[in-house]
Each structure stands twice: as C-alpha cells, then as structure tokens.
Amino acid sequence: MPAAPLRDVPQEAVELIKSFEGIVDGDPRTVNLDAYLDPVGIWTIGWGHAVRFRGQFLRGAGNRGIARALYPGGITRAQAEALLRGDLVDYASNVLALVKVPLGDGAFGALVSFAFNVGVGALAQSTLLRKLNARDSAGAADQFLVWNKGRKNGVLVELPGLTRRRRAERAMFLGQDWRAAALPGAPVLPALPAATRGARGGKAAAGAARSARSAKAGPTPRGRTTTPKAPPTREPAKRPAPRRGR
C-alpha cells in the first residue's frame, strides 16, 4: 500500500488498544514477558504483537519452541511498548492511505484500533470505509458494531470482548466516552447529526454537538510522548479478521 504522511496515534487510542489487547505473559515463571497463543491460535507477545516466522503469522501450539526461540528470554514491558508503537505507526499510515475525508483525533484513533484488530485488508474492503469516504459518518460509526464475531472451533460466533471493543471504538469515533461505552451492558448512544459532526470525530465532534459554531475548526493531531520507531516490515493488511475476544 502506498506510504501516507505520518500522523501520531492519539494517546487515548493507544490506551483503548492496550485495554482490549491486554498484556499476557506466556510464562509467568520467568522475569520477562513471553510469547503466548492467542484465542484464535496465533503466537503473540506484548500488547497484541503477532509473531511472524518466515513471513507468515506463527500459528499452533506445536510451534511453541519457535515462538520462544524468536524471543529468547522474552521481552521487557518497555520492549512491549516499543513493539506496539511500531505496529501502530504502520497501521496509522495504512489508515491514512485509505481514508479520503478529514479525520479528527477520535475518528482517526478509532480506525487505527479497528484496523489493528481486524486487519488493514478487512478495513479496505469494509462498508465502514465506503460509508466514511462517502461522508456518511453516522453510517460508518454504526458499522463498527457489525465486526463483533470471531471463529471458535470453526464456527463464527459473537465474542463479548469484541462487542465491547467495537462499542468503545464507535464511541471514540463519535467523540463520546469510550470507557463508558466499553462497560458491559452500556447503551449504544445515538450518533450526532451528520450536519454537525461530519467525519471529524473525536473531541471536536463533541464540541460540534454543543455548538454548531465549533464545527468551523477541526482538531490538530496531538503528538505523543514517545518517538515512534521505523515502521515494521510486516504487512498489516494480512492480519486475520477479529482475533480478540476477551
């Protein structure tokens, strides 16, 4: 996919991703964080960093030895943070290349979280992206909710963790409280009228709801405190469909 101008992922989006990906230690007996097998059988380390071997995602319990050999001694929490930041640089660039309308921080962050979870390829072919690029931001927001299923034993089923994540991403996209939206049983709040929100999302969208005058100015990207490393070499578009069900 063509490179797009770099834009920092908002810290709130990073926190959303961390909260749903979780940081799992594949071997609590060791000091550092070790690779573990995620719910759909992909070896993962840190905050959702999919382990690759020979250009492919490493899958299956039988490949434990390879997963551990790729990260001998595991990684520290700081290294896990660096892996996540590097992954997000890559996903952010892909999101910016796909979206053809202006994005506020909330909408941008929500889309990066979504792409990180379901894959850039899935986002590229989604009704969500089509509606967003057609400036139907309310319709795009509701499309987040569709992506709440994963395969268990070969059967496509709703996963409560994905339902909560999609509600949180939708809320962030609309400038609502994503933490409240992620609570079990939380109501799905209606989207604001497109005339007052547009495709901006984030805090600017909330301001537009309070006063139509604030719709004249969009937000500027917020910098983050950590300098991102160079984009990883893996192609995020190959990430499989929803893989987090916690």
Q: Residue 175: which of 91, 95, 105 has the closest Cα?
A: 105
The two three-digit tokens of residue 202, written as one number: 């984030």
Active site residue 21: yes
Q: What is the DSSP-derived secondary structure letter of residue 29?
A: T
Instruction: Give Cβ neighbours of residue 124 (< 8 Å, ≥ 6 apart).
Output: 98, 237
Angle between helices 11-21 and 105-118 (to 10 degrees): 30
The catalytically annotated residue of 21, 81, 158, 235 is 21
Q: How far apart are CA 103 and CA 146, in angstroms?
A: 21
Residues in the chain: 246
Q: Could you count the other beta carbons within 10 Å of the beta carbon of residue 39?
A: 16
Query: Which of 158-184 are b and which e, b meaning 16 or more Cβ less than 10 Å from the residue's Cβ?
Result: ebebbbbbbbbbbbbbbbbebeebbee
Q: What angle do CA 47, 107, 19 make, to 5 degrees?
A: 25
The catalytic site residues sit at: 21
